[in-house]
Each structure stands twice: as C-alpha cells, then as structure tokens.
Amino acid sequence: MASIIPIDPAHSAIQAPIKLLRQVRDAMTTGSGTPQSRLDSLVRVIADAMHADVCSIYLTRPGDILELFASHGLKQTAVHITRLRFGEGLVGEVASTGLDLNLAEPQAHPKFAYRPETGEELYHSFIGVPLLHSHKTIGVLVVQSKAPRTYTTDTAEVLHAVAMVIAELAVGSKIVDLYDISGGQNPTLQSQQVSGLTLAGGIAKAPIVLHRPKIEITQLVSESPEEEEIRLHGALLELQQSVDSLIDQSGLEEGSAHREILESYRLFSQDRGWIDRILEAISTGLTAEAAVRKVQEEMHARLSQITSSYIQERVHDLEDLSERLLYHLQGVEPSAALGVLPEAFILVANGLGPAELLEYDARRLKGVIMAEGSATSHVAIIARMMDIPMVGRVENILNLVTTGDLAVVQGDQGLIYIRPPEDVESAADTEIAARASQVAAYAATRDLPSRTLDDVRVSLNLNLGLFVHADHLAAADVDGVGLFRTELPYMASRELPSVGDQQKIYRDAIEKAKGKPVIFRSFDIGGDKQVPYIQVGDEENPAMGWRATRIGLDRPVILRQQLRALVGAAAGEQLSVMFPFIAEIAEFDAMKALLNKELARARDEGITPPTDVRVGTMIEIPSLLFQLPELMSRVDFVSIGSNDLFQFLFACDRGSPRVSGRYDTLNPAVIRAIKSIVKAADEYKVALGFCGDMATRPIDAMALIGCGVRALSMPPAAIGPVKAMVRSLNVRDLVHYLDYLCTEPAHSLRLPLERFAKDHGVVVE
C-alpha cells in the first residue's frame, strides 16, 4: 500500500514557504474585505499552495465548540453550520490534544466522524494542525486530499508556521476573541482557588494585569530568514550571558534551590533541541520573535498534557526563558506600568521591587499577587501604606492566569480566587461593601479621643511618604506624621529629584498637616530600596550594607541637598528631622552637624528659618540598645523601627520568605528591648514614638502600650482598628500581665495576649 502513496506533493509550499506565509499574511491583513472574505481567500491560497482538494479553518467558539469558519473544497452551505465539540472527530481530537494529526487514511482512525452536510468525500489524506494562542487552542487548520498522500514533516512544519500566523492575526484582528471563547474564563484552567502569604490585608476584585506582559509580536513573516537567524543567535547570546551573570552575581551557594533554577535556565538556554526548533520555524519564513512564540506554544501544548510536577516546573522554566528571549530580541524590558491600563486591575508578578510597584497608578491598582515576597519587605510595606491587598508566595501564579482573567484577592486570609465562580464574586462584592461601611464607621469615630478606658492617652500618627491626603491628616484622632519616608518620592523618580522638587513635596506635607508635627526621615535608600541614580553595587547583604545614613555620610552632597530642601520647606514652621539606620552615636552627631550646616547656610542666605528644629533618630540597629543614655542625652525624640530592629535582633532577613515566619514580633526578647528603650526615654524625658509595622496590628499595638509606648505611627488604614483597641483597653491590667509574661521563655506571647484581649473585651479585630 505504502508504495502507491506518492511522496508529499506540496513541493511548492515547502520550496517557498516564505511566499506562502506572505500570501497568508496578505490574505488576512490587506484590502478592505470582511473577516469572512479574508478567511475565504486564505483557505484558497493554502489549498493552492499545498495542491490539496480541501483546506478548512475551524475556529473555537465559547463552550469548546469548533465551528467551520471557512473552507475551500467542502460545501459552502456547511460553513458556520458544521460544529464539533473538542474531542469529537479528527478536528476535535487535534483541538483537545493541541497536537497535529497527519493521516494517510483518515477513515481508519478511531476518532473519524463523518459529517454529511460538508459533502465530504472519501479523502485519502488528512493533516490537521492546531491554531494555538496564549496557551489556548483557538481553532484547527485542516488540509485534505482525495489522492492518497503522506505529508512530510517539512510540510507539517510549514503548516505549523501558517497556523501560527493565522492564530496571531485572528486574535490580533479580533476574528477570535480570546476572552469570549473562554466564556470569560480560561478553558484550560477553570475557576481556581490558591493560597499564599498575607503581605497586606484587604479585599479586591478586578481583572488581572501581568507586570511583565507577554510581548506583542507585530511582525510575523520575515524578510530574510538569514537575517532572522543572525538576530536569534545574537539574542540567544545575550540571554545566555544574562543568565551567566545572574548566576555569577547571585553569590548563591552550589546546590541551593535558587541556584539550581538558574543552572537549569542556563542548560535550557543552550538546549539544542529548543534552538533547532526555533531555527526550523525561522527557515519556514517566520520572524525570530514569531518562531520563538510558535515553539513556546507548541511545547506548552505538548508538555502540559503531562501532569508530573517536575515537567510542569520545566514548562514554567521554558515559558520564562522564551519570554526573556523575546525581550532580548526586541531589546526592551517592558513593564505593564508603562502601558495603557484598565480602570481597575490586580497586578500579578513574579516578584516586585518597591520602585516597580510605585510605577503603577495607585488609583487603578486594586491588589497585588506575587510568586515571591515576604511580609516585612518594603514592597509589602508600601502596599500597606497604599491600602492595597497583597498576597505573596503564590507558587506558579504566572502559569495560572492570563491578562484579563477576573480575580479576587483576599489579603487577610492570603487567598486568591482566579476566575471566581458567581457565589465567590458576590461574596467578594458583599465584603467590599462591608469594608467600605467599616471604614465609614471608623470615620464616624474620628472625633472620639484616643484614650484607654483608664484614661491613658495614646497618640496616633501616620506613616506617609506618598499620597499625602489632607483629610487623613486633618482627622481629629491623628496627631501628626510619625514617619515621612522621604525615600519614596526618590524611588518614584527616575533621576535624583532636585532640591526644588523635594522642597515642594515636603512643603506640601507641612501645609496639609496644618500645624501638626511632621517627622521627616532623611532618605533610607539602599537595601531593597534601590534607586537607579545611586549605584550601590552588588552586596552580599544589602540590608546591612551601604544604606540610608551610611550613603548620606559618604555622599554628603546628596544628603545636604535633602536637608536643604527640608530646611527650605519648613520656613516659618516647625521642622522635625529623623535619621534612619544609626548604629553609633558618632553617626548621629555627624548627621546633626550636616543639618546644622544647612541651617546656618539658610541663615546666611536670608531664608526664613524654621521656628523650631527637632532632631531625632530611628532605633533600628541593636547596637543603639547599648548606648541608650548617650543617645537619649542628645536627641529630641526617637522612634522605634521594629521592622529593621527585629530583623537584626533575630538575625532574620525581613525579605526572606523562608525565615519570615520563623520568629514572632511578640517574642519576650522584643518586649524587653522595647521596655528598655521606653525606660531610657522616660528617664531622659525624650519623646518616644513607634513607627515599625508592629504598630499596625491591634494586638501588637496593645502589647506596645503595655510596654509603655504612648505614640504610635502607622498607615492611615490602621488608625481605625488600632483606636478601637485603645478605647477598649485597660492599661493597668495589661502592664502587670505583660510583666509576668515576659519572664516566660516563650516563642511568642501572641496567644496569651489574644486570650487577655478576649477575656477583657479588648477589640483587636
């Protein structure tokens, strides 16, 4: 039998695949024809080039239905009438597996299904290839002939390239609507609930935007395969170099999980099979970008059938690598922040730096989901300041979503619903409304004093740095700004802000505060708060490296510019300046001396001086705990930065997901450290505040009050719940209990303190 089957007759298509691809592109893009007339001419072009009797295009409709959209060779009356389910017949088989079928005797295949309305005769050859886009089968391209024939793999490859071009153009020109065919849902991934780590509380419901969006490929058909090959090799080289330098710079130990991932990237990036497949696609006439995307879609279709988690990991690696290769080919590293964004969206990213988060329009950004992240990282702090729910460590999130998928982020529970079912959607709507009324309820209590039941006043202040809302500051229960993180405007800027620009920002905060004190912290750049214009360089331990005051003292010009802006901004007003990351008294003295120089300079230049200057420091490095008398005797105020203090007390990286849950802030050691600071501040009559994240959690804030802290600073959203706690607390009872608890060698005092709150009716929700 095989001897009478002629060799592949589609010589012309194989010989000149670029010509065919161009014809395909032109049929789909030129002229003013309707989408239908374009598809009609397209099937003719392909049938001609393949010397085939039939060429048909089936497109996916909502509900996993394949509809005959255009055909050359089948009865025209069947177009838009013939429909098959995924898995039904040969066409349905191609669609459901995402793999092609190349058959010499199609009737002999167990899946063969005869559809009389098509006028289908006895065909002796069938080749069907899936139209793949965004990991979905958006249709099937079929070529059939009466004469028995076997299509070679070369022909199949040409058809794959044709299918790629059709799929891209069909989606690009909206002949197929990805969202629509999914019925608003991703057909391969239905509703899903995943969990992660709470980084910022709250709830949001909105469509997803990917932080690093898939690159849009505008040019699919190449002018010259040779040139595309050269481009590919160039991009591959860059990719391999970038992976190599990631490995070299990372300083990761041999055998560590992260290093293994990078090593496997390196291996993949040199994988001959992968590269050869891309080169083969280029040789059929695709541009390098289209070839990379084609291979990516096909590999995904093939490998995602395998459920092994090892293979799934590799699929993820390949996805990531393909996207990186596309970035190199296009010479860009785009972030969605720079594009057009929906009115409301939830951002999905592998990991995000604080500066990257700040690039997004805060009014539209409703929630963030990340594959990485830890609760005390700055990106999480900023999310809390922005009052945006953020869930981190959601493994595999990038493989579970596509742009436009609806999602619900439940920050408090660390839960994510992707493409939520109706009941979850409506529960989310109810909770969003309930929260809004809770916020309104807190707002209604704004005028009530922040006093405990036994009449201890607790000053509540704001942590700001961005979005200085006048009404937040005007609230009767807000005494001022306890921490103005000045580095945030630095991070939101692509270049060092000028003295004038800085001065405007600081003046704005002072004016909005209307006489309430604003404590400006000099910049805390470095660590995970990198800015492009101050090169910190590679450090093994950036959190303990060249950061904050250390940069300021080594680069006094930059620091003095900031101090000048602060002095200028506070003309005729009180100025409070706080230095971060002070490890020894000499550093405080040196910083204060620079501030004094700027004050003297302002005087010399005849600039109106501040009415009163208060100088203080953060307590966030443990060495200060052993220099408290010397420190207290020279500062006007101090503020405890528990985020850093905790990480250094426990040698526990605040940015590392692995250890972030290992110790608790309500450990007796923390309580004792705080008590010792309170004692020293009381002795020296120094104003003491607390601006670390602990203060935002009512139960932790309760413990702080028990330690003697009387001024707390937090993001605006935390004021309501913390004040509710203050107003329901009897401090006297707590102090005794805490004294007793501190003597316990406990991992955490959280549970007994929660019990205390419950037994004494303290509101710590």
- Where on the chain is the footprint of Mg ion (CB under 5 A)? 620, 641, 644
User: Between residues 649 and 731, which has the closer beta carbon with respect to Mg ion?
Assistant: 649
Contact pick of 132, 381, 678, 699 for ligand PEP (by CB under 6 A): 381
The per-residue b/e assignment along 159-177, b for 16 or more CB within 10 angstroms, e otherwise, is bbbbbbbbbbbbbbeebbe
| Shortest Å distance, C-beta 375 to ligand PEP | 11
Name, in order, each residue with C-beta under 8 angstroms of 164's C-beta and a sequence gap of 6 or more: 132, 220, 281, 286, 290, 293, 294, 297
Q: Alpha-carbon distance 704 to 702, whole Å?
A: 5
Sheet order of strands, 101-103 included: 83-85, 65-72, 54-61, 136-145, 125-133, 101-103
User: Between residues 102 and 549, which has the closer beta carbon with respect to Mg ion?
Assistant: 549
Query: If you count DSSP H runs as helices and E runs as strands, how many of each does the chain have, helices first?
Result: 28, 22
Q: Which does 93 bind (CB under 5 to 8 A by kind): ligand PEP, Mg ion, none?
A: none
Name, in order, each residue with C-beta under 8 angstroms of 606's C-beta and a sequence gap of 6 or more: none
The answer to whether residues 569 and 507 touch, using CB atoms and an 8 Å cutoff, is yes
Q: Is there binding between residue 653 and ligand PEP (CB under 6 A)? A: no
β-pair partners for 461: 480, 713
Contact pick of 53, 64, 524, 598 for ligand PEP (by CB under 6 A): 524
The helix-helix angle for 272-283 and 288-303 (nearest 10°) equals 130
| Shortest Å distance, C-beta 363 to Mg ion | 27
Q: How many CA atoms within 13 Å lie on the side-chain side of 518?
A: 30
| Shortest Å distance, C-beta 690 to ligand PEP | 9
Q: What are the C-alpha distances in Å from 556 to residues 3, 370, 551?
A: 86, 37, 8
| Shortest Å distance, C-beta 300 to ligand PEP | 40
User: Between residues 12 and 493, which has the closer beta carbon with respect to ligand PEP?
Assistant: 493
User: Between residues 269 and 642, which has the closer beta carbon with respect to ligand PEP?
Assistant: 642
| Shortest Å distance, C-beta 487 to Mg ion | 10
The helix-helix angle for 731-741 and 750-759 (nearest 10°) equals 150
- Please identify, among the stretches 142-150, 249-257, 499-507, 636-644, the one whose residues bind ligand PEP according to the rule CB under 6 A: 636-644
The answer to whether residues 476 and 447 touch, using CB atoms and an 8 Å cutoff, is yes
Q: Alpha-carbon distance 408 to 367, whole Å?
A: 9
User: Between residues 568 and 641, which has the closer beta carbon with respect to ligand PEP?
Assistant: 641
User: Between residues 360 and 581, which has the closer beta carbon with respect to Mg ion?
Assistant: 581
Q: Alpha-carbon distance 672 to 703, whole Å?
A: 11
User: Between residues 151 and 523, which has the closer beta carbon with respect to ligand PEP?
Assistant: 523
Encoded tokens for 249: 């710079």
| Shortest Å distance, C-beta 711 to ligand PEP | 14
Q: Is there binding between residue 642 and ligand PEP (CB under 6 A)? A: yes
| Shortest Å distance, C-beta 362 to ligand PEP | 18
| Shortest Å distance, C-beta 642 to ligand PEP | 5
Q: Is there binding between residue 677 and ligand PEP (CB under 6 A)? A: no
The answer to whether residues 322 and 295 touch, using CB atoms and an 8 Å cutoff, is yes
User: Between residues 287 and 647, which has the closer beta carbon with respect to ligand PEP?
Assistant: 647
| Shortest Å distance, C-beta 386 to ligand PEP | 14
Please list every residue from 608 through 627 that binds ligand PEP, using CB under 6 A.
620
Q: Is there binding between residue 547 and ligand PEP (CB under 6 A)? A: no
Residue that has been written with the tokens 């002939």 in this structure: 145
| Shortest Å distance, C-beta 739 to ligand PEP | 25
User: Between residues 196 and 692, which has the closer beta carbon with respect to Mg ion?
Assistant: 692
- Please identify, among the stretches 148-156, 224-232, 287-295, 642-650, the one whose residues bind ligand PEP according to the rule CB under 6 A: 642-650
Q: Which does 74 bind (CB under 5 to 8 A by kind): Mg ion, ligand PEP, none?
A: none
Q: Alpha-carbon distance 129 to 73, whole Å?
A: 18
User: Between residues 483 and 762, which has the closer beta carbon with respect to ligand PEP?
Assistant: 483
Encoded tokens for 541: 């331990």
Q: Which does 485 bind (CB under 5 to 8 A by kind): ligand PEP, Mg ion, none?
A: ligand PEP
Q: Which does 381 bind (CB under 5 to 8 A by kind): Mg ion, ligand PEP, none?
A: ligand PEP
Q: Is there binding between residue 643 and ligand PEP (CB under 6 A)? A: yes
Quick one: which of 385, 271, 435, 397 has its CA closest to 696? 385
Please list every residue from 680 through 699 that binds ligand PEP, using CB under 6 A.
691-692
Which residues in this chain contact ligand PEP in the complex, by CB under 6 A?
A: 381, 483, 485, 524, 620, 641-644, 691-692
